[in-house]
Structure formats: C-alpha cells, structure tokens
Amino acid sequence: MLILASASQSRKKLLENCQIDFLQFSSDFDESSIKDENISNLALELSFQKALTLSENIQKISLPRKFNDSSLEILGCDSIFEFKGEAYGKPANKEEAFSRWTKMSGEFGFLHTGHTLLIGNFDSTLNIFKITKTIRKTISSRIYFSKLDDWEIKIYVDTNEPLYCAGGFALEGIGGKYIEKIEGCFSNVMGLSLPWLRKNLYK
C-alpha cells in the first residue's frame, strides 16, 4: 500500500486518475528548517524529510487493519520552481505573484520536484515502520511561459490560484493556458513524476 505524505490535491488527483491505491496524510514537516542554496538538492531533501517524518509518526495514523504487518511505501514529494537561479515557492501575496509573473512572462524556468520513496514494513506489534529501502531523485522540467500583458497577469492573480502553487502557477488549473511548452516530464510539473513512480513502485 502506498501512503502519500502530502496534503497536495494535485498529487492526489494524479494518483487517482492512474487508479493507484493509496492513503493520503500530511507529514506536517516544518519546511523552513531545511536550507540549501542548490534548489534541486533542496527539493530532494524536503521530499525526504516529509516522507521520513510521516514514517516516524506512523503510529499516530489509524491504518486499516489489513495493512498490519504488511509492506508499505511512503512517498514524499516537494516542488520548487527555479527562475534565473532564484527559488520561487508559493507567493506570499498578490503583489509578489504579480511581480513574479511580469518577470516570467515570455521567459522559461525549471520546476524541480524532489521524490522520495521509503519502502518497508509496518510492524503492528511495535507500532513502527521499518524502512528496508530508500529511493530518491529530483526530476526537473523546463517550462516556457507565454508573453502576457499586465492586464492578463492581473486577471490571473485575482483568481488567487497563484498563491497556492509553487512558482505561482498551476498547469492543471487556470494557469495552464499561459504555458507554451514543457520539456521533460509533464506530470512532474503538477508535483509528481508518474513515470518515475511507476518505475520505482513496482520494482
């Protein structure tokens, strides 16, 4: 059974669309505690810490009885958008979202998603998750944005969608029409590389 250590609705939808059985729980990891100037490495470390935190607190989760003493996989992911060497997380407010989009308009950036898969077994007697294997990788996709006028940016920002997304845009949402082209994994831009997951989940 796969456990998604994330509250992300985008990742949830991706897994549901692929008909992958999973449970979803937020890891509640404090992302501000991790610092790294290398954006790709930062995304990877955050994904690992999210998965690890959930694995260490698994006794607080009410797992269905059928998963006692069975194999489990915990998936942690974290996405960070890189624009001209700068890390763009979720914009703090509309003003920041608008400012970013005026810079990103007609340009390109990279969406880095760190992936960590902890494979192991849940021991119902000791109430712990025993990790037997750890698989980690950052997947990066290059995203090209349309050239937008200020009024178009304002309309998009006023939807509030950019405030809830890494980089200030959602490919699967309203912001999808402002993306010209993607080089690399498509689903990675939505927070989870499905080809990577398929390759490593079913080894």
Helix H or strand E segment including 48: helix 39-56
Q: How many structural domains comprise the chain?
A: 1
Query: Which member of 78, 123, 150, 158 is catalytic?
Result: 78
Q: What is the pLDDT of residues 80-115, one digit of tens each?
A: 999 999 999 889 999 999 999 999 999 999 999 999
Which tokens belong to 9? 């609705």
Band of the pLDDT at 31, cuts 50, 70, 90? confident
- Read out DSSP for 101-156? HHHHTT-EEEEEEEEEEEEEEEETTTTEEEEEEEEEEEEEEEEEEPP--HHHHHHH
Please give the residue range of the domain that contains residue 107: 2-201
Determine the 3-state secondary structure of 202 from DSSP.
Answer: coil
Residue 200 has pLDDT above 80, yes or no: yes
CATH number at residue 130: 3.90.950.10
Work out the pLDDT band at 13, boundaries 50, 70, 90: very high
Does the annotation count 78 as an active-site position?
yes
Q: Lowest-pLDDT range, 68-72, 107-111, 123-127?
A: 68-72
pLDDT of res. 182: 97
Residue predicted with more confidence, 106 or 36? 106
pTM value is 0.90
Query: Can you tell me the distance from the alpha carbon of 27 to that of 190, in angstroms, rounded to the nearest whole number?
Result: 19
